[in-house]
Structure 1
Amino acid sequence: MLFPVYTPASDPMATSDTDQTIITSKWRLPSTSQRPIAILGGGVLGRRIGACWASTGYRVHIRDPDAQQVHGALQYINNEVWRYNPTISPDKMLVYGFQELEPAVRDAWLVIECVPEKLDLKIDVFAQLEKIVQPDVILASNSSSYKSREVTAKVKLETAKRILNMHYFIPPDIRIVELMTSGWTHEEIFPFLQQHLQKSGMIPVVAHQESTGFILNRVWAAIKRECLMVLNEGVASPEELDTVWNEMFVKHGVPPCELMDSVGLDTVSLIEQHYIHERNLQDNGVIGFLQKYIKEGRLGAKCSKGGLYPPGYTTKTAGENQGPYANVHAPALYILDLGLNHNPDQAYQSGRILRGSADGKAPLRILIDNLPMPDGIALCPKKGKIIWGNMGVPWKNDGSIMSCNLDGSHVKTIVPPGVVHTPKQIAVDDDCEMIYFSDREGMRVFRCHVDGSGLECLIRNGDWVTGFGDQTKWCVGLALAPCEGKFYWTQKGPSKGCQGRIFRANITTPPGHDASTRDDIECLFSELPEPIDLEVDEESKSLYWTDRGELPYGNSLNMATEGPDGTFGKNKILARNLHEAIGITLDKKNRHIYATDLGGAVYRFNMDGSDRRKFYEDEGSFAGISLLDN
């Protein structure tokens, strides 16, 4: 591939005056079809910018008054364009060199100025461009030290509206391009250029307002200044400073905003206040900026409102890029395996409690095994306990509730076999040290203290001896809303039967009533495929539940939100194609949903069902799931 130096006779784009597009007085974005990008300056950066655009199929004109620079630029692109991951073959790239300005820019839709950093020179270049370019062309300055406002001194306002900064760094190694307004730049230019820059393999970032130094150079100026102060004060040698810098920011690549969120913005504020006081610095609004976040409760990755980033940003799964602060606030997962896969000869005695990580990278650790069909699980952090239920053999009245320490030690039975028939989902009121659990074939909902004392039946739909076959009365999922004073539960109905329902009642049984006669029960949803476990997010007044029923509505993750009148709207399916969906738990701090299925997978979703992640596949037959905040 060898690119020609421009001569009028060799220009395949040359057109007569009568062929020129007529532009009306009302400006609109330029057409890019059959029109080149002109780069003024063939030096180190100009030729690299040219390679970026040429590598993805854009026609490029490089202009430099020095013929040697023009040839050098063309030769660079010819030899080095492979570094830019080209999307077209080299023989189809169109790159032309020019010494004269007018033919280089005449038909361009974008002109990028890369002349030396002399303001008077730049001002004159833009004034000259105004006279010869098409009236719709976008004019950009690659200057790293001058705002584009400063180069508009000799142009009309209509031209200034088409001028902006387009600051490249050193592609192809650093592909960031900063865009910044001249103060008058048409707003629609920015998304238009972002789209084309992304197509050319770049990462465009728009400065929200004019700023000397733009984004990165401004930050670097402060870092550079502090580095020089460290050296001047004798705090460290240049070698020592570079060593710690490389270890922190080069080797491990810690982004500053992610780092501040991980530390906590309240802590960052206290540190900054100390620096300001000790060194008698001017605040310049930094403390006030941080206080706005702190007053809103947005302290960073450690809280449910997030900080500089949205909540859950630092919680990563195995397939995501993970920096040194990834998962510092991620929960530990506690998962129940029914044991149907790894020991089929002992199907009713092979259940396990497993502990894993929220990213799926840590191997599942067996805390307890040889359990009789464990299903519901919940944690009581205040007491340091895991609480779970064993279903036992479904046709026998041998279910039980057990507990142990968070590390799996000190296992004991707190509700003995026979008192509860088939315990399912468990919920814990950590403040009151109470546990709530449903009893499927027993057709009941119970609560008791964490140690099993004070057992109380809250809901009784019948007697398992006489009503065993009526699955519409089987209680399965259970969730608490203690601030609301309510609890919720599911009655799943026959398998794949579309007779499932979700109910709600007061935590306190109405006076004069018992579990069989209470009159405060509300049916919130009916005719569901087969709802199983559910959770409540009191902050958003939303219910989330799994459904293992028939497609197209079953094997799904669902959500519904309570309105101001206390009623729920139609449920929304957040995710489909789970494999016998069972367990669900909410990471309210990081704003994530975790779910399990009998196919042996753990899923993670955002609270709206987006960003689906799947991990711990084929490692069991998973039922209940719970989590412990870090």
Structure 2
Amino acid sequence: MAETKKVAIIGSGFVGRSWAMIFASKGYSVCIYDIAESQLTSALNDIGNQLKALEKSGMIRGNLKAEQQVGLIKATQSFEEAIRGAFYIQECVPEVQSIKADVFNRVAEIFDDDAIIASSTSYMVPSLFTKDMRKGRDRALVAHPVNPPYYAPLIEIVPAPWTAPSAVQKVRDLMREVGQAPVTLAKETMGFSLNRIQVAIIMECWRQVESGLLSLEDVDTVMWGGLGMRYAFLGPLEVAHLNAEGKYFIPSRNPALSVVGMKAYLRTYGEAMLKAADDLGPVPHESYKEGTPTANDICRQLEELVPLDQLQARRAWRDKRVAALAKLKKDLDQSD
């Protein structure tokens, strides 16, 4: 753990609260900043309730009790008070470039000479809001979590062109220490990694519904009942590596196919996969917009599936299951 144990969280919304809980689980002193006292009060109450519920269910992270973790989390309306003495600052403000730039510029005037600041942005490359920092921009980057961050461990680390490699490594080490699963992009890329993969999936799902190939409900079933079952434990490339292992590749039966793993997958399915890729169709520029017939139909089906007044309840349903999956994976890893 770093010599200075204070972490600052800028913004007390859902993501900020999740970060506070993650860092407190490992014994860090956390200071949350927001401009509204009511927002901070709500955040602290919510965090306390969440941690107590997690402790009761046996899903709290770390070795500290809920009461101890709650005691590590403070709140302030003073920007300077939050930043001073923090070795790591996590920005969690709205996805507006000017707001993020203002936060980073203000932090540059205050933060310690060895402190690092990271943004939680899900799509903005860091050079957009760090370019005008008066100092310390070599210690500024993106550390993008996945919702819900407390249960989904992935963190996408994205450096700006001027971010020091040492800062990237420190953040990567910190994320591992607090129980997250960091990946580091070699350069700034629109959409980072997760969203680029997600976009490819959503665009194909959109095309399948628009063309009438499958209903919306069936398309979603393909993911949660098929791909998602495997992808919860393995990535798509490792899935392919494992799937080509079988009786058809036993050398004694067919020497011509005496390869296994990804080589066998490429040999057996490569041409068919490329043909399917060629057949995917263009990006649906015209229909993937609010108000188009396809968009209206998809929105209608989704609102029938989950009425708008039930969205919050459905989110809670989702988070409960993601939490249970996280616990299952942890238990399985410990038993292996």
Equivalence for 1:99 = 77
Q: 3-state SS of the aligned residue for 2:136? A: helix
Equivalence for 2:167 = 189
Equivalence for 2:239 = 259
Task: Measure, in 1, the Cα distance between the counterparts of 2:282 and 2:213.
Answer: 19
State the Cα distance separating 1:114 from its structure 2 match: 0.5
Task: Measure, in 2, the Cα distance between the counterparts of 1:186 and 1:153.
Answer: 14
The answer to whether the 8 Å contact 2:12/2:32 transfers is yes
Matched, 1:237 2:215: yes
Residues 538-561 of structure 1 show CA distances to partners (whole Å, capped at 9, x for unaligned) of: xxxxxxxxxxxxxxxxxxxxxxxx
Residues 60-83 of structure 1 show CA distances to partners (whole Å, capped at 9, x for unaligned) of: 011111212211221222222234
The answer to whether the 8 Å contact 2:25/2:63 transfers is yes
The answer to whether the 8 Å contact 1:168/1:178 transfers is yes
Q: 3-state SS of the aligned residue for 1:188? A: helix
The answer to whether the 8 Å contact 1:275/1:281 transfers is no
Q: Which has the higher Rg, Structure 1 or Structure 2?
A: 1
Task: Measure, in 1, the Cα distance between the counterparts of 2:25 and 2:76.
Answer: 19
Equivalence for 1:132 = 110
Summarize the alignment of residues 415-564 of structure 1 with structure 2, pairs less than 5 Å apart. none
Q: Could you say if the C-alpha distance between residues 99 and 267 of structure 1 is closer, same or farther in structure 2, counting changes exceeding 3 Å?
A: farther
Matched, 1:86 2:66: no
Equivalence for 1:274 = 275
Q: Could you say if the C-alpha distance between residues 43 and 255 of structure 1 is closer, same or farther in structure 2, counting changes exceeding 3 Å?
A: same
The answer to whether the 8 Å contact 1:50/1:62 transfers is yes
State the Cα distance separating 1:280 from its structure 2 match: 6.8
The answer to whether the 8 Å contact 1:260/1:268 transfers is no
Equivalence for 1:508 = none
Summarize the alignment of residues 223-372 of structure 1 with structure 2, pairs less than 5 Å apart. 223-253=201-231, 255-261=235-241, 262-263=243-244, 264-267=265-268, 269-275=270-276, 277-278=278-279
Equivalence for 1:159 = 136
Residues 177-232 of structure 1 show CA distances to partners (whole Å, capped at 9, x for unaligned) of: 11111122111223322222222121222223222222212100110111111111
Q: Which amino acid in the other structure matches residue 270 of structure 1?
A: E
Q: Could you say if the C-alpha distance between residues 64 and 35 of structure 1 is closer, same or farther in structure 2, counting changes exceeding 3 Å?
A: same
State the Cα distance separating 1:168 from its structure 2 match: 0.9
Residues 349-387 of structure 1 show CA distances to partners (whole Å, capped at 9, x for unaligned) of: xxxxxxxxxxxxxxxxxxxxxxxxxxxxxxxxxxxxxxx
State the Cα distance separating 1:109 from its structure 2 match: 0.6
State the Cα distance separating 1:279 from its structure 2 match: 5.6
Task: Measure, in 1, the Cα distance between the counterparts of 2:101 and 2:65.
Answer: 38
Q: Which amino acid in the other structure matches residue 259 of structure 1?
A: V
Task: Measure, in 1, the Cα distance between the counterparts of 2:12 and 2:175.
Answer: 20
Summarize the alignment of residues 171-182 of structure 1 with structure 2, pairs less than 5 Å apart. 171-182=149-160
Q: Could you say if the C-alpha distance between residues 279 and 145 of structure 1 is closer, same or farther in structure 2, counting changes exceeding 3 Å?
A: closer
Equivalence for 2:302 = none
Equivalence for 1:36 = 6
Give the total of aligned pairs: 255
Residues 318-359 of structure 1 show CA distances to partners (whole Å, capped at 9, x for unaligned) of: xx979xxxxxxxxxxxxxxxxxxxxxxxxxxxxxxxxxxxxx
Q: Could you say if the C-alpha distance between residues 260 and 67 of structure 1 is closer, same or farther in structure 2, counting changes exceeding 3 Å?
A: same
User: What are the ranges of 5 or more consecutive residues in structure 2 without an aligned counterpart?
Assistant: 245-264, 284-330
Task: Measure, in 1, the Cα distance between the counterparts of 2:162 and 2:60.
Answer: 33
Residues 446-505 of structure 1 show CA distances to partners (whole Å, capped at 9, x for unaligned) of: xxxxxxxxxxxxxxxxxxxxxxxxxxxxxxxxxxxxxxxxxxxxxxxxxxxxxxxxxxxx
Task: Measure, in 2, the Cα distance between the counterparts of 1:77 and 1:227.
Answer: 36
Q: Which amino acid in the other structure matches residue 37 of structure 1?
A: V
Q: 3-state SS of the aligned residue for 2:94? A: coil
Task: Measure, in 2, the Cα distance between the counterparts of 1:117 and 1:159.
Answer: 22
1:168 to 145, 148, 153: 145
Equivalence for 1:54 = 24
State the Cα distance separating 1:237 from its structure 2 match: 0.4
Equivalence for 1:563 = none
The answer to whether the 8 Å contact 1:39/1:63 transfers is yes
1:64 to 13, 16, 34: 34
The answer to whether the 8 Å contact 2:22/2:61 transfers is no
Task: Measure, in 2, the Cα distance between the counterparts of 1:57 and 1:115.
Answer: 24
Taking only the aligned residue pairs, the percentage that are identical comes to 27
Q: Which amino acid in the other structure matches residue 131 of structure 2?
A: A
Calculate the TM-score normalised by the size of structure 2.
0.69
Q: Could you say if the C-alpha distance between residues 277 and 244 of structure 1 is closer, same or farther in structure 2, counting changes exceeding 3 Å?
A: closer
Q: 3-state SS of the aligned residue for 1:42? A: coil
State the Cα distance separating 1:252 from its structure 2 match: 4.2
Q: Could you say if the C-alpha distance between residues 229 and 281 of structure 1 is closer, same or farther in structure 2, counting changes exceeding 3 Å?
A: closer
Which deviates the most, 136-145 or 76-85?
Answer: 76-85
Task: Measure, in 2, the Cα distance between the counterparts of 1:95 and 1:218.
Answer: 34
State the Cα distance separating 1:113 from its structure 2 match: 0.6
Task: Measure, in 2, the Cα distance between the counterparts of 1:279 and 1:174.
Answer: 30
Task: Measure, in 1, the Cα distance between the counterparts of 2:189 and 2:170.
Answer: 21
Calculate the TM-score normalised by the size of structure 1.
0.38
State the Cα distance separating 1:278 from its structure 2 match: 4.3
Q: Could you say if the C-alpha distance between residues 208 and 321 of structure 1 is closer, same or farther in structure 2, counting changes exceeding 3 Å?
A: farther
Q: Which amino acid in the other structure matches residue 274 of structure 1?
A: K
Q: Which amino acid in the other structure matches residue 189 of structure 1?
A: A
The answer to whether the 8 Å contact 1:52/1:84 transfers is no
Which deviates the most, 201-210 or 107-116?
Answer: 201-210
Q: 3-state SS of the aligned residue for 1:62? A: strand
